[in-house]
Amino acid sequence: MRTGLTLRNEVGLHARPAALLVRAIAGVEADVRVRFGDDEADGHSVLAIMSLGARKGDRVEIEATGPQAVDAVERIEALAARDFDES
């Protein structure tokens, strides 16, 4: 399962939003990858996600594989739709 998201929250995928993303998919049986430009990060690693440097207005791609891939992507989409609870 794959989706693209344009980040609308003020800080992009920095510490707090990255931690919320990881927490949102904790316990979900899926391998999640976050891509920004040519870089890719493990969706279960706060530091890896932060290292992408994605900011407000940037578009990131989310790809999940595994038995609960759809659930993982839906959780991330819902979190992004809420602007990572920043607004």
Active site residues: 14
Residue 9 token pair: 């929250």
Q: Is the dihedral of CA 82, 6, 62, 54 positive or negative?
A: negative
**4-30 exposure pattern, b = at least 16 Cβ within 10 A, e = fewer:** ebebebeebbbeebbebbbebbeebeb
Which tokens hold the place of 25?
């998919």
